[in-house]
Amino acid sequence: MNKQFHIKVDEELHKQVRVHAASEGMSIQDYVLLALNSKIRESKTSKATVGKNKFTFIDLFAGIGGMRLGFEKAGGRCVFTSEWDKYAQKTYFSNFGDMPEGDITKIHEKEIPPHDILVAGFPCQPFSIAGVSKKNSLGRTHGFLDETQGTLFFDVARIIKEKRPKAFLLENVKNLKSHDKGRTFKIITKTLEELNYNIHVEVLDGKNFVPQHRERIFIVGFDKDIYKGQEFFTFPDMPVQKMRIKDILEKEVDPKYTLSDKLWAYLQNYAEKHKAKGNGFGYGLVDLDGTSRTLSARYYKDGSEILIPQGENVNPRKLTPRECARLQGFPESFKIVVSDTQAYKQFGNSVVAPLIEAIAKQITQALESFSVKDKKEVS
């Protein structure tokens, strides 16, 4: 049973609440409820985590919180998050009790709280050439930092420069290395090195943690002002995958996820047409005892990259949103509060949470081992 509060506020506060609610596209009631929930959670978190968290981190381009899941399981506490998509914000708030700040390009770096680790799965955009102006620039007149202006990586760089986290983790698609004939990746690494960070780069596959082939590039950096390039960091040893696609499937599935005769015929004809031309394009009917292709944000369109066979006389079906969550290693407790279309986009844009946790633990161990080493040398 829902209860109600009846409170009186002065005219100025009412005006401020109304303006802020409108800017978030929310009703005044929903905005006030959000503010109350956030304050209560903040109070509980601060009391429960004093002295218990190993580190603090911020979650940029947060999506629905896949990176946060991994870093929290590694012992961290999130002190700031940013995500502009309103549907992702809704999912994020429903699961973490925090409403992400909006567009990171509009948030001044000085407003972001201090943190030990910066985490960002930034989008890959074409990089502008040197000389393009941008508000809140890093104050550089030349060099690689200028070349990142006009891109979302610039916002990562300006925050790193201002807040000087001990370490960071950046995640992106595997082909970031080859984007624009390698120029993009060169600019990124040079920018991070100019900021005086020692970087470690590796392409890792999520299939070692979940039954999905999902290669992503990970860039880990440590502040050379602190660690002098001598941090004890290695990427995690990848475990042998034991899960199979059939292990993540729901027992009872709504018939709406089964492909229509028209769509199934289209996908088969499309695959045959490209096969005749020598191309590899086509649907992916998965081996239930194996792993799937990479789940993408376009999965909602036709589900073609990952189709579940249902026998000879029944058309294959798409994964359900819950199965997509499992394919990314999200816990069963993770709430799906948006439409199927938005859920497919959100999980397709997210990360393999157990892989992020494994990397987070390696970063944490590097920070801790250096601290122990430093204390021994002092004593």
Please say if the pLDDT value at position 320 is more than 80.
Answer: yes
Q: Which residues contact 83 (CB under 8 A, 6 or more apart)?
A: 61, 62, 63, 89, 92, 100, 101, 102
- Tens digits of per-residue pLDDT, 328-359? 999 999 999 999 999 999 999 999 999 999 99
Q: Are strands 76-81 and 117-120 parallel, antiparallel or unpaired?
A: unpaired
* Residues designated catalytic: 124
Name the residue among 87, 39, 41 with its Cα closest to residue 345: 87
Six-digit token pair at 101? Answer: 């700040």
- The domain at 245-348 falls in which architecture? Alpha-Beta Complex (3.90)
CATH topology match: 1-49 vs 50-240+354-378: no
Indicate the range of 131-135, 268-272, 274-278, 343-347 predicted with least confidence: 131-135
Q: Give the global pTM.
A: 0.81
Q: Which residues pair with 197 in a beta bridge?
A: 223
Calpha distance 72→185 (Å, rounded): 29
Contact assessment for residue 169 and residue 218, using Cβ atoms and an 8 Å cutoff: yes
Q: Does domain 1-49 have CATH number 1.20.58?
A: no
Fold of 50-240+354-378: Rossmann fold (3.40.50)
Six-digit token pair at 120? Answer: 């960002």
Calpha distance 272→82 (Å, rounded): 44
pLDDT at position 39 is 59
Confidence band, pLDDT 50/70/90 cuts, at residue 33: low
Where do the domains of the chain lie? 1-49, 50-240+354-378, 245-348
- Tens digits of per-residue pLDDT, 200-252? 999 999 999 999 999 999 999 999 999 999 999 999 999 887 899 999 999 99
pLDDT at position 77 is 96
